[in-house]
Every structure is written in C-alpha cells, then in structure tokens.
Structure 1
Amino acid sequence: MTLNHVVVVGAGAMGSQIGMVCALAGLSATVTDIAAPALARAETGLRSRLSRDIEKGRRTAAEVAAAFGRLTFSTDLAAAASTADYVIEAAVEKLDVKRALFADLDRYAPPHAILATNSSSIVSSRIADATGRPEKVCNLHFFNPALIMTCVEVVRGPATSDLTVETSIAFVERLGKTPVVLNREIPGFVANRILNAVRDEAIYLLENEIASVADIDTACRTALGYPMGPFELMDLTGIDIGYLTKQDRFAQTGDPSDRPSSSVTALVERGELGRKTGKGWYSYDQAGIKTPRPTGEVRVTS
C-alpha cells in the first residue's frame, strides 16, 4: 500500500511532532485540531525547535524548509482526511472523544485509509467498532519527544488485518523509526508498562517520606542510567496524561491500586501539570529551567 498523505489529529506536543516526523521523511502531512490557536502554537513550537536543530548542525536549513513545505495545519478535519492514506489520532486520552473522532474519520477518510491511535492506554479494540473498517484500525504509539525517540509500538487489535500491521511496520521504517510489534494488545504496551512500574514505585517512595522528588530522580539518572528521572519525565509529558491513563485503567479493572495517587490527583486538581503550566513536580521559569519544589507542596500522603 502506497502512503502519500498522513493526517495527524491533535496539535499538542505529540501530534505536532509526529506530523513533522512525517514531513521530514518526505511525506505530505497535515496536522489538524479543532482550535486554531493550538495549531498556531504547534507551528511556532516546531519552527523554534527545528531552528535550534539547524543552529546545532543536526539538520540543514534546506531540509527543514522542504519539510515545512510538506506540512500543513488545518481546522478542517473532513477536508484533510478526505485524501488521507494513513491517519494518526493524538487527541486527549478520553475514550468517548476517541470513539467520536474515529466515527467521523471513518466517514471522512477514503476506504483504503488506515486509522491509528497514538494512545498507549486505550487499545484499538475499544475504538475499532466505532468504524466500519475495524481491520484497518490499530495502535501506533510514538514516544515523546517524537522527533528524537526512535521506538514506535505497532499494536495489533483482535480485528486488525495482517496488511494493516505490515503497512504500519513499513510506514514506521520509512520514518526512520524502529518498530516494536505487539501481536496481542495490552494496556500500556511494552515500554510504558515497564515505565509505569518505575513511576508508581517513585511515587510510593515520595508519599511514604523515604526520599524527595529530586533525590529519586537523581538516583534513577546516576545509578540506573536513565536520561531523566520519573518525576522529570512526568513533568515533560504532562502529569494529566498519566492521571487520565490511571483513571481509565481503574475504570476497566476496578482495582484500587490502579487509581491515580493522592499526590498526582492533587497536582492535577490544582492545574499544576508540569512544564506546560510552569509547575508540576518541579517549578519552571520562562526559559524552562527547573528548580525543586518544597516536598510539602507536592507530596500528599494517602
């Protein structure tokens, strides 16, 4: 199956970067969002990031200019999807939103188009029946920051066809990424299930007053070789993302251990979601430089 036009739904950090990854690989890509300001922020953020890459010699100015020539931003999902060969949904982690989106995409996109979700917590079998093409629905999970991280998980749902899996693997390889194939879906997939176990243990250590946020992160970086600690990573990806993932997991299992932790819940309720809000487990200045917060501001004992 030939892929020429990729549509990404959602102009957040993940969606915008996935769109640029496609454009850098020579594909025509459209990033869509219901909010025009979100699209403007996405383009500004990408131009800033790619300018730094040029300054540091990671990419050439010609390469970046050509990629932006292949990348468009639009609030008109129906028009964008009408010529899509592959659609990647990167919207909010809410099942009802995703199901409504996939029902719309099923109407808008050509019959041959594959409809994938970037979600790592909502498996495609919970979405596929909202469409008339369940065999063309799968999870295609990129990691943040998508412009840098090479792993992409390709996850087969019960109805996903071999052709959809094979096409998705070839697509990931064309992007210069490394596909990891899951033959059976499971919430969290491979990498995030391992990562979530580390995150949950880090929060346990904090809430039980065993160590501070900064010291737990330092241990993970200096003893385990992690590029960043679990609290730093939560601030980068957005504390609300993990919160919504936990909420969804608890709704499926009813297991109290799957509830979001007290500390995470308190941060989300205060709107302190990490780097994007200037406060999370750490505080961030306008340059993005972080400083530790007093433990009493972030730790809530269960």
Structure 2
Amino acid sequence: MEISTVGVIGVGTMGSGVVEVAARSGLQVVAREATPELVEAGRGRVEKSMDRGVARGKLDEAARDAASAAIAWTTDLDDLAGCQLVLEAVPERLPLKLEIFGVLDRVLDPAAIMATNTSSIPIIDVAMGTSRPEQVLGMHFFNPATVMKLVEVISTQLTAPEVTEAATAFATKTLGKRVVPAPDRAGFVVNKLLVPYICQAIEMYESGHASASDIDDAMKLGAGHPMGPLTLADLIGLDVCLFTAESLYAEYAERFYAPPPLLRRMVAAGRLGRKTGQGFYEY
C-alpha cells in the first residue's frame, strides 16, 4: 500500500511531533483537533519546533516552508477521508477513542489503516468499536516524536498481517523509525519495563530513602541513563505515568505494578510535571 497522505487526530505534545515528522518526510498531512483554539495551539507547537530546527541548523528554511505547506489543519473528522493512514493521539479515554474510530470507520476508504497511539488501552478494545477491526493496530510513538527513533507496532488477534506489514514499512522506510513489534498487552514493551522503574523511584523518594536529585544522579552516573527516573516522570507527565501504572496493575494484578500513593496525590494536586511547571522539580 502506498501511503502519501496521513491524518493525525489530536495535536498535543505527541500528536504535533508526529505531524512534524510526517510533513518533514514528504507526506501530505491532515491534522485534526476538536476546536479552533486547539488547532492554533497545535499549529504553534509545530511551527515553533521547526523554527527551532532552523535556528539550530538542523533544518533549512525551504524544507521548513515545504513541511508547513504540506499540513492541512481542521476540526472536522470528515476532512480525513482521503488519508491512507490515520493515527489517533487523543487523551487516554476509551469512550473518546471509540467515538473517533466510529467516525473514521464511516469516512475512510475500506483499505485505510486506523492506528491508535495509546500507551496503555488494549488495542482490541479500540478495534472492536469499528466494523473492520482487521484494519486497526497500535503505533506507539515516543516523546518527542521528532527525536525518539522508536515506534512500537502492536497488532491484535484480528489485525490483518498486510496491515501490520504496511504500518511497519511506513514507520521504517518513510519516517525513518526503528520498529519493535509488541503484543497487545498493557505496557507493550517499553512501558512494561519503564513505568514500574519510575514507580519504584517514586516509592524510594516517598519513603525518604534518597532525595529526588540523588535518585536521578545515581541512575545517570551509576547506570549510564541520560535522564533520571523522576526527571523522566516529569517529562512524560505524572498523569500519564499514573494512568499507565493503573493499566498495568489492572492487567497483571501484581503489587509490583501498583502506582505509589504519592503519585496519586501529586496528580490529584495538579502537579503533573513539566507541563504544569511543577512535579518532582519546578520548571
């Protein structure tokens, strides 16, 4: 399948990065948000990122202008009708995703691929909200999508093999990513390892075992990690960490996966990390 036009639904931090990656890869992109205000916010994120690339010498002005011209912005899901692949990147709420996939099921060509960027919701739950679950799979990008090279491709029991092959080829050959296939299980590959590690660091901090900076420095200087677990949690978003930990615990029912109380309290208090200016550190 030739994929020349892609749709991205939800252009927050993750979705805007995918929009930029796709546009810079020579694709036509239809970027959809729910309101005009969110459209403008998403457009601003993409333009700011590409302007930063020009300033740093990683992108020339002609390439930036060509990528900008390749992006169509909309609030109407019907405008994605001509896309061969659509990636949904809205908040982690299954009813919202089901509503969106129901519309995509109606407007997209029968051969179009429908992908979700969820980090924790079972892909099969999303797929069964359509009349063609064989066309649905997960494509889990990582933040920032413009930098991170990995994409997890998650097939369900019903995903057609040719759909998995086409999505994998698209991510590798067109977007230049490294694909890791993952089973449709909570956490896939990365988050099943990463989120318990982050939660263990939070428990260590909460118990007074070590300070936040000491935990982070220990993992950077002792384990060679580029970023400590608490700094990483702030970057990911503590609400996302909590949701993923809850999904892991619901799936496997093992204490190891349970989110620590401090994480729940910080999310309840609105201390979500970088995006709110305060998490384990102040920004």
Give 1:220 deviation, angstroms.
Answer: 1.4
Equivalent residue of 1:188, what SS? coil
Equivalent residue of 1:29, what SS? strand
Say if 2:137 is the partner of 1:133. no
- Letter aligned with residue 245 of structure 1: T
TM-score, scaled relative to structure 1: 0.89
Between 25-34 and 46-55, the greater mean CA deviation after superposition = 46-55
Say if 2:185 is the partner of 1:178. no
Partners of 1:271 and 1:192 in 2: how far apart? Answer: 23
Q: Percent identity?
A: 36
Matching of residues 19-58 of structure 1 within 5 Å: 19-58=19-58
Between 201-210 and 246-255, the greater mean CA deviation after superposition = 246-255
Cα 1:225–1:255 change in 2 (3 A) is: closer
After superposition, what is the alpha-carbon deviation per residue over 1:70-119, rounded to whole angstroms, capped at 9, x for unaligned?
0122111122x211110101111122221222112111211111111111
- Letter aligned with residue 94 of structure 1: R
Equivalent residue of 2:223, what SS? coil
Give 1:252 deviation, angstroms.
Answer: 4.3
2:153 is matched with which residue?
A: 154
Partners of 1:127 and 1:226 in 2: how far apart? Answer: 34
Matching of residues 194-205 of structure 1 within 5 Å: 194-205=193-204
- Letter aligned with residue 178 of structure 1: R
- Letter aligned with residue 87 of structure 1: V
Give 1:201 deviation, angstroms.
Answer: 1.6
After superposition, what is the alpha-carbon deviation per residue over 1:203-244, rounded to whole angstroms, capped at 9, x for unaligned?
121122101111111111111122211111111121111122
Cα 1:258–1:49 change in 2 (3 A) is: same
After superposition, what is the alpha-carbon deviation per residue over 1:245-296, rounded to whole angstroms, capped at 9, x for unaligned?
2333444455555443211111111111111111111111xxxxxxxxxxxx
Matching of residues 75-90 of structure 1 within 5 Å: 75-79=75-79, 81-90=80-89
Matching of residues 86-235 of structure 1 within 5 Å: 86-173=85-172, 174-182=174-182, 184-235=183-234
Matching of residues 8-19 of structure 1 within 5 Å: 8-19=8-19
Between 1-10 and 259-268, the greater mean CA deviation after superposition = 259-268
Partners of 1:238 and 1:36 in 2: how far apart? Answer: 25
- Letter aligned with residue 194 of structure 2: L
Equivalent residue of 1:139, what SS? strand
CA contact (8 A) 1:138 1:154 kept: yes
CA contact (8 A) 2:195 2:245 kept: no
Partners of 2:72 and 2:96 in 1: how far apart? Answer: 23
Partners of 1:42 and 1:154 in 2: how far apart? Answer: 25
Gaps of 5+ in 2: none
Equivalent residue of 2:282, what SS? strand
Gaps of 5+ in 1: 285-302
Equivalent residue of 2:128, what SS? helix
Partners of 2:43 and 2:238 in 1: how far apart? Answer: 23
- Letter aligned with residue 73 of structure 1: W
Partners of 1:220 and 1:36 in 2: how far apart? Answer: 42
